[in-house]
Amino acid sequence: MVIIMRVSHEFGPFYKKNSKVLILGSMPSRKSLEEGFYYAHPQNRFWKVLSFIYNEDIPQTIVDKKKFLERHCIALWDVIESCDIKGSSDSSIRNVVVNDINYILNNSNVSVIYTTGRVSYNLYNKYCKDNTLIDAIYLPSTSPANCGKGIFEKLVEEYSQIKDITS
């Protein structure tokens, strides 16, 4: 039985001054919170998709992931700073406190914001858009919960637009 817990984002955003795009998730999974960096669940396809798009090996360590992001001018963060959540289930998220997305926008060259999944997209539009004045672009979730025939190919197709901006 999984109980609802109050969870706080335990690591900050990743960005550099030269970051051009910001990819926002909702809230890190339990595995990501344990590891201390984004998209750490071994079945999450985030790193596999980005590596495929940029024709690179999948980064394995946090240091390698940060170098990958820096090389491709990508910033990562989450819409949520803290919330009540059941396990890692986005659909159970309640009592949301959001991050100040303008912090990255004011300290980088980010001009395009993507959200991974419907929950992060909806939360961004509800809580952040009026402050950032930037329309987010929805991308499908890379979570293992988003599965089905041809999903990897669909993710690659959708996420390829990031390369167009960062290349």
**Segments making up each domain of the chain, as ranges:** 14-166
Give me the mean pLDDT over the 80-97 stretch: 86
DSSP-assigned letter for residue 3: P
- The alpha carbon torsion through 22, 88, 148, 115 (nearest 10 deg) reads -20
Residue in the structure block whose two tokens are 């690179």: 56
| pLDDT band, residue 158 (cuts 50/70/90) | very high
Q: What is the CATH number of domain 14-166?
A: 3.40.470.10
Give me the mean pLDDT over the 48-61 stretch: 97
In 9-79 the beta strands, taken as DSSP E runs, fall at 21-25, 74-78
Helix, coil or strand: residue 82: strand
pLDDT number for residue 143: 84
pLDDT number for residue 76: 98
pLDDT number for residue 145: 72
CA angle 81–58–66, rounded 5-degree value: 45
Is it the case that residue 152 has pLDDT exceeding 70?
Answer: yes
